[in-house]
């Protein structure tokens, strides 16, 4: 008998310090509506060396999330691991010192056409790729205005026949010292006055990012690249408006309200783009992953894959649930069904054993 989990509609994870975790810093799965992960600090994760459980933040299970204003530091695999997610936005995040990729995006061979939109992130010191995007089943997403430096393989890798993926306004360097940060060694990635990242970005037409990681207003014509906008008045972490509501740094023109504050009300559903909205996710592909490697990359495909310790959750071409929110599946189905009449059956199996669950290690694709 196959058991399926319920969907989560509404998750707001914010203003936390998560550090020294044995497994992942955080996971989000099966959350196709109103998913927000913001202003968190996640550092020193995966200390137990548990295979597939060593990411800073893992998002999967067709979850559609807005992920902004976070700081992720120090881990043995990937910072952000976006693996089989729905429409998802990552912006104004700082990611440093992960042994695999700072941001790793893979469609998990799920034919959802998901838009993954990545803008204004600072990604420093990655063992493999700074930002890796893989999968022919992804929708038309983009990388815009990201500052990426110090990657072991390449600062940006886009492969696996990714369709219509825009690479625009990104700045890369072999050494983060070349970006003119205040103090890269001390992980202060604010910009100095002479930084080459200043005023070289492009507007993000899909959703206007009006503030930076600290809440500093961005130039709406030529913003600075990376998580921070230069200011000569000092940086601030105050992102509260005068009426007491929290802002996500995107435009609030009446069509794209940001999160609200207070214990009884969470954020509204983000900007007017397709990510993080209330429409649900409709999928038509197999959730198995069809992977012979530990990275989750489709075997035999070209393009970037995560290295051998990545949290793919594969087992001989089909996946089992990593943890309560891992969001991978052992059966073929058609996605996160509850949100759509076309998908009458949920696609994500219930985790039966929460503790001590291990999958055998697969050989990486040569």
* SS3 at position 257: coil
Among candidates 63, 62, 93, 92, which has minimal Cα distance to 80?
A: 93
Dist CA 165 CA 157 (whole Å): 12
Dist CA 68 CA 331 (whole Å): 32
* C-alpha of 294 from chain center: 19
The band of 250, judged by pLDDT with boundaries at 50, 70 and 90, is confident
Predicted pLDDT at 4:
75
Residues 223 and 244 sit within 8 Å (Cβ to Cβ): no
Task: Pick 120 or 244 by higher pLDDT.
Answer: 120
The band of 160, judged by pLDDT with boundaries at 50, 70 and 90, is confident
Least trusted range by pLDDT, from 162-176, 212-226, 297-311, 349-363 = 349-363
Residues 333 and 273 sit within 8 Å (Cβ to Cβ): no
Tokens of 181: 């940060």
Least trusted range by pLDDT, from 103-107, 108-112, 259-263 = 259-263
Predicted pLDDT at 251:
64
Please state whether beta strands 129-134 and 116-119 pair in parallel, antiparallel, or not at all (unpaired): unpaired
Tokens of 227: 């998580």
Of all residues in the chain, the percent with pLDDT exceeding 70 is 64
315-362 pLDDT, tens digit each: 333 333 333 333 333 333 333 333 433 332 334 433 322 223 333 333
Which neighbouring-strand residues pair with 171? 147
φ/ψ (deg, to 5) at 64: -115, 110
Predicted pLDDT at 224:
98
Chain position carrying tokens 């020294």? 20
179-207 pLDDT, tens digit each: 999 999 999 999 999 999 999 999 999 98
Q: Is the pLDDT of residue 132 over 80?
A: yes
Around 263, how many Cα atoms within 13 Å sit in the side-chain half-sphere?
Answer: 0
The band of 139, judged by pLDDT with boundaries at 50, 70 and 90, is very high
Q: Average model confidence (pLDDT) for the chain?
A: 74
């Amino acid at each position: 008998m196959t058991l399926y989990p319920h969907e989560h509609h509404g998750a707001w994870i914010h203003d936390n310090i998560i550090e020294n975790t044995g497994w992942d810093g955080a996971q989000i799965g099966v959350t196709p509506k109103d998913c927000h992960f913001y202003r968190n600090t996640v550092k020193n994760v995966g200390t137990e060396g548990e295979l597939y459980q060593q990411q800073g933040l893992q998002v999967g299970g067709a979850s559609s999330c807005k992920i902004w204003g976070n700081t992720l530091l120090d881990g043995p695999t990937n910072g952000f691991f976006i693996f089989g997610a729905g429409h998802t936005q990552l912006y104004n995040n700082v990611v440093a010192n992960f042994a695999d990729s700072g941001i790793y995006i893979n469609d998990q061979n799920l034919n959802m056409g998901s838009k993954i939109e990545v803008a204004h992130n600072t990604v420093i010191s990655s063992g493999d790729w700074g930002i890796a995007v893989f999968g022919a089943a992804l929708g038309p997403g983009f990388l815009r205005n990201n500052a990426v430096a110090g990657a072991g393989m390449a600062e940006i890798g886009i492969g696996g026949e990714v369709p219509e993926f825009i690479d625009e306004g990104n700045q890369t360097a072999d050494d983060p010292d070349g970006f003119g940060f205040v103090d890269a060694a001390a992980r202060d990635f604010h910009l100095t006055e002479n930084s080459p990242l200043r005023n070289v970005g492009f507007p993000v037409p899909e959703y206007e990012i009006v503030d930076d990681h600290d809440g500093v207003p961005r130039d709406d014509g030529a913003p600075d690249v990376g998580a921070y906008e230069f200011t000569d008045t000092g940086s601030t972490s105050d992102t509260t408006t005068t009426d007491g509501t929290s802002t996500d740094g995107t435009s609030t023109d009446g069509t794209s309200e940001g999160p609200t504050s207070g214990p009884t009300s969470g954020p509204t559903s983000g900007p007017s783009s397709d990510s993080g909205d209330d429409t649900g996710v409709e999928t038509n592909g197999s959730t198995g992953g069809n992977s012979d490697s530990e990275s989750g990359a489709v075997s035999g495909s070209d393009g970037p894959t995560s290295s051998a310790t990545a949290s793919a959750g594969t087992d001989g071409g089909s996946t089992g649930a990593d943890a309560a929110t891992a969001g991978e599946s052992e059966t073929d189905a058609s996605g996160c069904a509850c949100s759509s009449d076309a998908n009458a059956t949920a696609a994500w199996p219930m985790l039966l054993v929460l503790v001590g669950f291990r999958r055998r290690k697969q050989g990486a694709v040569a």
